[in-house]
């Protein structure tokens, strides 16, 4: 299996930040205030982050089945 380098992450820095804050219990409104952006933008960032996580999970599962 190919080892990923640090520049091959599946999430952007912003996506990681938003998911980390959500995991810590922050609401979208609280993240909006901290990040100086709109709630709609935070929602989009979070949605894209979870889509990327799901895509990575599916890739890993396919790789395991193919091994």
Cα–Cα distance, 60 to 1 (Å, whole number): 10
- Can you tell me the mean pLDDT for 9-29? 94
Domain boundaries, the chain: 12-58
Going by pLDDT thresholds of 50, 70 and 90, the confidence category of residue 8 is: low
Cα–Cα distance, 21 to 25 (Å, whole number): 7
pTM over 0.85: no
pLDDT one-digit tens code per residue, 47-61? 999 999 998 888 888
Going by pLDDT thresholds of 50, 70 and 90, the confidence category of residue 67 is: low
pLDDT at 17 exceeding the cut of 90: yes
């Amino acid at each position: 299996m190919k080892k990923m380098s640090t520049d091959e992450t599946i999430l952007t820095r912003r996506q990681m930040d938003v998911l980390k804050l959500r995991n810590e219990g922050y609401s979208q409104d609280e993240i909006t205030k901290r990040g100086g952006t709109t709630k709609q933008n935070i929602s989009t960032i979070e949605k894209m982050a979870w889509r990327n996580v799901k895509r990575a999970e599916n890739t890993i599962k396919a790789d395991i089945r193919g091994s």
